[in-house]
Amino acid sequence: MGLANKGWVRGEPQDGGWIGWMIKPLGRWSLIMEIDEGFAVGMSPSRT
């Protein structure tokens, strides 16, 4: 998806090291995207 290169920040790893959301800071606001199946902590940023 390449979101890490566009200012998105990964959420905190949960049980088993999976991340289920990403956050996009927008000044005083933040946009939160929930990722249904999540992704592993060690995945390359180019894949997120």
Q: Two tokens at 44? A: 């390359």
Place of tokens 């929930």: 34
Q: Which of 27, 18, 14, 26 is nearest to 48 (CA)?
A: 18
pTM over 0.75: no
Q: How confident is the model at residue 46 (pLDDT cuts 50, 70, 90)?
A: low
Query: Which residues lie closer than 8 Å to 4 by C-beta, 6 or more apart?
Result: 10, 45, 46, 48
Q: What are the two backbone dihedrals, phi and then psi, of residue 16, each rounded to the nearest 5 degrees?
A: 80, 5
Position 47 scores a pLDDT of 54
Residue 44 pLDDT > 80: no
Question: Residue 32 carries which side chain, given as an amino acid letter?
Answer: I
Distance CA 7, CA 18 (A): 20
